Amino acid sequence: MSTPQKIITWILILVGVWVLSDFLINVGLNSIYKDIQREDKNSQIIVYQADATYVNGRIRGLIKDTDKTQGKYLKIELYSKRDVLVGKGYIEIQDLQKEESQPFELLFRAKDVASYKIEPVKEKEEGPELEIIPEELTKPEIVLGTIITFLIFWA
């Protein structure tokens, strides 16, 4: 084999390993999340993703008609299977124009969450809040981590 063919072969192998590892990581991580149930009936707050593992979770949604929503914060309370309060978190509601909506996302670290309630409140209550995870990793961060891991094992 000539040198260009070897280089192309190695590049194809690296791309194949990257695609396979990216697929397996996404399937593996998303398969451990289980849906959690919503316990309130507020039609102005639409939740399109609410799931959790044993130790962390995520709730994503949309606040519609924020001018009609009574409150300055969204209070999200998380409960275990036996309706024990596991934690609560707050998301600030922005001042938007009429008929606009606001997306929201709560990434949290709490154990054994089975259900949640969302309600608008005027101010935060005293007491401990959930440990909020700042953000999920982006695709470039995942790719960089995969490349660094590959280089560590290769060296």
* Digit-coded pLDDT (tens) for 75-131: 899 998 998 888 888 888 887 677 778 899 888 888 889 999 998 888 887 776 766
pLDDT digits (tens, 9 = 90+) for 23-75: 888 877 777 888 899 988 888 888 999 999 888 889 999 988 755 666 688 88
pTM: 0.67
What confidence score (pLDDT) does residue 155 get?
Answer: 65
What's at 32, amino acid-wise? I
Contact 142/106 with Cβ under 8 angstroms? no
Confidence band of 11 (pLDDT split at 50, 70, 90): very high
State the Cα angle at 55 between 50 and 59, rounded to 5°: 20
Helix (H) or strand (E) run with residue 59 in it: strand 56-64
Contact 100/69 with Cβ under 8 angstroms? no
Contact 139/18 with Cβ under 8 angstroms? no
Strand positions, DSSP E, the chain: 34-35, 37-38, 45-52, 56-64, 73-79, 85-92, 101-109, 115-121, 131-132
Q: 148 — phi, psi (to 5°)?
A: -65, -45
Q: Walk across the sheet containing 37-38 and list its strands.
A: 37-38, 115-121, 73-79, 85-92
> What are 85's strand-pairing partners?
79
